[in-house]
Amino acid sequence: MSSFVIGFPRIGEKRELKFALESYWSGKSDFSEVEKVAKELKQRHWGYQRDAGVDVISVNDFSLYDNMLDTAIMLGAIPARFRDLKDENLYFSMARGNKDAVAMEMTKWFNTNYHYIVPELTTNDSYKLNATKIINEYKEAKEFGLEKIKINIIGPVTFLALSKRVDRGDTFELLGKILPIYEELLSELSKLDDKVIVQIDEPYFVKDLEPKELSLIKPTYDKLATLADNVKVIVATYFEHAREAVKVLVNTPIIGIGLDFVHGRDNLEILDIVAKSGKKLFAGVVDGRNIWINNIEKSVELLNDIAKTVDKENVCVGSSCSLLHSPFTLEYEEKLSSEIKSWLSFAKEKLQEIVIIEKLFRGKDLNDAQKALLEANKEANETRKTAEIIHDKAVQARINGDIKLERDDKFEDRIKEQHARFNYPTLPTTTIGSFPQTPEVRKARRDFKKGEISQEEYENAMKAYIDDCIAFQEEADIDILVHGEPERNDMVEYFGEQLKGYAFTQNGWVQSYGSRCVKPPIIYGDVSRPKPMTVDWMTYAQSKTNRVMKGMLTGPVTILNWSFVRDDIERSEVSKQIALAIADEVNDLQNAGIKMIQVDEAAFKEGYPLRTSKIPTYEAWAVRDFKICVAPAVADTQIHTHMCYSEFNEIIKTIEAMDADVISIETARSGNELLKIFAKSGYKQEVGPGVYDIHSPRVPSVEEIVEQIEKLLEVLPKEQLWINPDCGLKTRKWEEVKPSLKNMVEAVKIVRAK
Ligand code: GLN
Ligand code: ZN
């Protein structure tokens, strides 16, 4: 075994799987059409890997929806509400729900933007093997002509760690029920061939494992690795170092360990242990979750370093994690400048890098195409060091110069001036920013982008929408207004498009969940703001009302976490650059008379590192950069922030340190439970806990909202509370939004009167 990839993306370079699935779901085609597309994609992707020269190729990295869901099906972990269903109806109902049963929960896969289906387990259920998908895929790959195959499966420890028990108990208690199914699976797989290689993914091993969790590893892998002589087990870890788990794994009969040397450099410290064990090392040296070209020479150096400790024969070369988290290929990018393009490498291009690195490492000859690629790689890495479009002297001077790190006044003083200025009532009402994105609004934006309508026509359309939003909010008697965000397709893209240092792809789609893909913008160079980004829209909106109009920005940490970020400088540096660009906008807004400004940090929590020891560093720069971006705000400018979750127990002090005057959060679904931490920790700033859930089309009644507000008042004093929905309203319809907000205001009036 010499070169490998942990896994390959499956949605297709033209998102073929997405379109096939959505057509089937909407009843426009049969399931056989989905199967046909799936088969074509699998073969095409195997072909790409084989043709690039990758040595061992995966099966079962493909999925029609999600690998965790596939694993649940494989284990027979079917929640009771779906048990009458079969085959594709069962599968897609679990993923998406149906008219009788709600979908299973979905959540983020470690610190990526991929979302998996959360398996639901109970202690009473008995589990039963269903190996059909895996066996079929293996046979398909054989028929296709693949020779060296590895079968990817998600490991039992990770599976249990990411599942939930319906009775909220400890999922690891179910290992005794789940492990026998894995054993049975491996026995089945042993029948497939003379020698069967299984890659068992255990990304959970890169977390800080409790002693109890660590103690599960040895018995599990002692069993799985000895089930059949011809089944060889590799345990793959990724996204961080797995030092603690490796120390245990080396004492089990597995044949190899996969370690990430891109995002888990600390893995270098346990090489001697791996070396002593004589196991194969699957070294991830090409970043599977970013889009930059590899520095091939450096990777070879790194491997040579590794080979000083680990026997070279035992070192295999591959991707740091599944390429699922990268876009597909650069081939369809026609608009990117050739210079920027030369610095990028998507999944298909990464295959070439892996193969070249492996050959150089082993002293094998490159073919002519590979020689040319290597030259191009060297040159691109050189130009990236000095290119003017990346390195902006003015930005660097500013970053290294005197930066205003925080506001001049303390919260206690600011808030008095703000109350004097705005004079808002007790329990002030507001919304989170966006109003329904109607088909007309989307069309106008699209037409303008394509050049089909003029700037003036576009602006008029947006202004008309803003007028409507204002008229409605005044009619509903909301205290603090918003303009509705019609000009924004996406809260990060909108700012990225106006910032220097940002690039956009045409086809850089990455699977987010199921058939959904996102196309994150790319931060390739030093970031700055050539001109104001929101001031004209905001001043227009303010000119249309006597009420306070709240400005609306996206914060630096969220912009960072939802973009592909350059890897030639620290993330915290990039974040600081963005913070300064946003600070300019804050300043321009307040000078233009917009004195209440919301800076959304919807993805603040998403950026948290997987290892506890790294959290303080992240928090330090994330808080620093939020504070930098609002530092220009004078005492009577009120800064709001918004975060899309309600679980603040562990980070409440950090949130407080961000020093926003008002924070709005999502709480409707949890009553007042999750708000309690704000009271308990003595949080002093004002808080707007969502009073109704915006994820559902349901219109909440006045009574219900009154009740919710009263619950909130049990936790925090009325002086500290704002009243707003959970999140932005862009995905809702006006028919839902109008009565909901009217009921919200009605409810507040009833509570105020009491
Ligand atoms: N201001 C944004 C909106 O209202 C916030 C979105 C978000 O929190 N995800 O849409
Ligand atoms: Zn939100």
Distance 489 CA to ligand 2 centre (A): 15
pLDDT at 639 over 90: yes
Judge if the beta carbon of residue 727 lies within 6 A of ligand 1.
yes
Residue 133 sits in which domain range?
3-386
Residue 476 lies in a domain: no
Atom index in ligand 1 nearest the CA of residue 598 equals: 1
Same domain, 109 and 221: yes
Same domain, 356 and 429: no
Residue 282 lies in a domain: yes
With bands split at pLDDT 50, 70 and 90, how would you rate the model's confidence at 1?
low
Through-space distance between the first and last CA atoms of the chain, rounded to whole angstroms:
74
DSSP for 717-743, written as a single string: -GGGB-BB-SS--TTS-HHHHHHHHHH
Atom index in ligand 1 nearest the CA of residue 644 equals: 8
pLDDT at 696 over 90: no
Three-state DSSP class for residue 597: strand
Same domain, 16 and 119: yes
Per-residue model confidence as pLDDT tens digits over 710-741: 999 999 999 999 999 999 999 999 999 999 99
Per-residue model confidence as pLDDT tens digits over 366-415: 999 999 999 999 999 999 999 999 999 999 999 999 999 999 999 999 99
Same domain, 308 and 412: no
State how far the Cα of 715 lies from the Cα of 675, in Å rounded to an integer: 7
Distance 10 CA to ligand 2 centre (A): 29
pLDDT at 646 over 80: no
Residue 163 lies in a domain: yes
């295999």: which residue's tokens? 316
The pLDDT of 508-519, averaged and rounded, is: 95
State how far the Cα of 651 lies from the Cα of 300, in Å rounded to an integer: 40
Distance 368 CA to ligand 1 centre (A): 51
Residue 195 lies in a domain: yes
DSSP for 545-596, written as a single string: -SSEEEEEEE-HHHHHHTSEE-SSS-HHHHHHHHHHHHHHHHHHHHHTT--E
Percent of the chain with pLDDT over 90: 96
Same domain, 418 and 329: no
Same domain, 263 and 333: yes
Per-residue model confidence as pLDDT tens digits over 8-61: 999 999 999 999 999 999 999 999 999 999 999 999 999 999 999 999 999 999
- Within 8 A by CB and 6+ apart from 420, the residues are 636
Residue 440 lies in a domain: no
Picking from 386, 421, 446, the residue at the C-terminal end of a domain is 386
Distance 82 CA to ligand 1 centre (A): 34
pLDDT at 287 over 80: yes
CB 517 within 8 A of CB 510: yes
Q: Which of 493, 600, 605, 644 to mutate to test the pocket of ligand 1 (most atoms within 8 A of CB)?
A: 600
Residue 379 lies in a domain: yes
Same domain, 415 and 337: no
pLDDT at 612 over 80: yes
| Least confident residue range of 100-109, 133-142, 349-358 | 100-109
With bands split at pLDDT 50, 70 and 90, how would you rate the model's confidence at 669?
confident
Residue 555 sits in a domain of what CATH number?
A: 3.20.20.210
DSSP for 677-701, written as a single string: HHHHTT--SEEEEBSS-TTS-PPPP
Same domain, 295 and 415: no
Same domain, 636 and 739: yes
Catalytic residues: 695
With bands split at pLDDT 50, 70 and 90, how would you rate the model's confidence at 125?
confident
DSSP assigned state of 259: E
Judge if the beta carbon of residue 599 lies within 6 A of ligand 1.
no
Same domain, 297 and 332: yes
pLDDT at 92 over 90: yes
Residue 398 lies in a domain: no
Judge if the beta carbon of residue 310 lies within 6 A of ligand 1.
no
Distance 727 CA to ligand 1 centre (A): 6
CB 181 within 8 A of CB 134: no
Judge if the beta carbon of residue 642 lies within 6 A of ligand 1.
yes
Same domain, 209 and 320: yes
Count how many domains the chain has: 2
Task: State the DSSP H helix or E strand holding residue 319, giving kind and residue range, or none if neither.
Answer: strand 315-319
CB 660 within 8 A of CB 617: no
Give the residue among 490, 721, 741, 481 at the shortest CA–CA distance from 596: 481
pLDDT at 357 over 80: yes
Residue 259 lies in a domain: yes
Same domain, 7 and 47: yes
Atom 3 (ligand 1) nearest CA: 728
With bands split at pLDDT 50, 70 and 90, how would you rate the model's confidence at 670?
confident
- Measuring CA to CA, how many Å separate 289 from each of 238, 284, 285, 341, 568? 11, 11, 12, 17, 15
pLDDT value, residue 222: 98
Per-residue model confidence as pLDDT tens digits over 560-584: 999 999 999 999 999 999 999 999 9
Q: Which of 432, 644, 667 to mutate to test the pocket of ligand 1 (most atoms within 8 A of CB)?
A: 432
pLDDT at 199 over 70: yes
State how far the Cα of 411 lies from the Cα of 627, in Å rounded to an integer: 13
